[in-house]
Amino acid sequence: MRIGAAILCFAIALASGPAAAQSLVFRVDQATAVRDGDQLVVHVKGAARTGGWAHPRLVVRGVSDNKHLEIHFMATPPQNASAVVQSLVPVNVSLKTRAPSRSVAAVKVVSETNSVTAKIVAKKKHAPQATARDHSENRQTQAASATTRLRPEFLAR
């Protein structure tokens, strides 16, 4: 029974064919890199040559020149027999990984036809979020100052 199950699994694996290899995406349009503590968050926007590309991802290749972290923009191309849109299709992907050393100042994202280099910036500290009550108090203050500004005009008449 176990031997039969093993043979069946092997036959299914053979019938499914080889796993589709990932290729570089056609182009990269924009890249951002933000250091958040010991993490690096990279966002990339680009385009695939046609529709049907799947599973986009960013593959870290390593540090080049001790200043750039090289990342390849990859995705799985459509199967040869599939009908796909013959137009550039937007592709977006993000990666969160361990931040490189502080000596690495930028991320270089490589695609099939170009590359984009993005400076690694520190995450900005955001001010506390204002509440709805804070906004209504602001409106009341603005309204009061507006009437104060109008009052001298009425006195001049």
Q: What is the mean pLDDT of each run of 10 residues along the chain (157 residues)?
A: 47 46 96 96 97 96 90 95 89 96 95 97 72 51 48 49
Q: Give the predicted TM-score (pTM) of the model.
A: 0.68
pLDDT of residue 139: 52
The verdict on residue 124 lying in a domain is: no
The verdict on residue 156 lying in a domain is: no
**Count: domains in the chain:** 1
The verdict on residue 154 lying in a domain is: no
The verdict on residue 102 lying in a domain is: yes
The verdict on residue 144 lying in a domain is: no
Tell me how far the alpha carbon of residue 76 is from its chain's centroid.
17
pLDDT of residue 43: 98
pLDDT of residue 133: 52
Q: How far apart are CA 53 and CA 23, in angstroms?
A: 10
The verdict on residue 133 lying in a domain is: no
The verdict on residue 7 lying in a domain is: no
For the chain, how long is the longest CA-to-CA vector? 103
The verdict on residue 51 lying in a domain is: yes
Task: Tell me the residue range of the domain where 41 lies.
Answer: 21-119
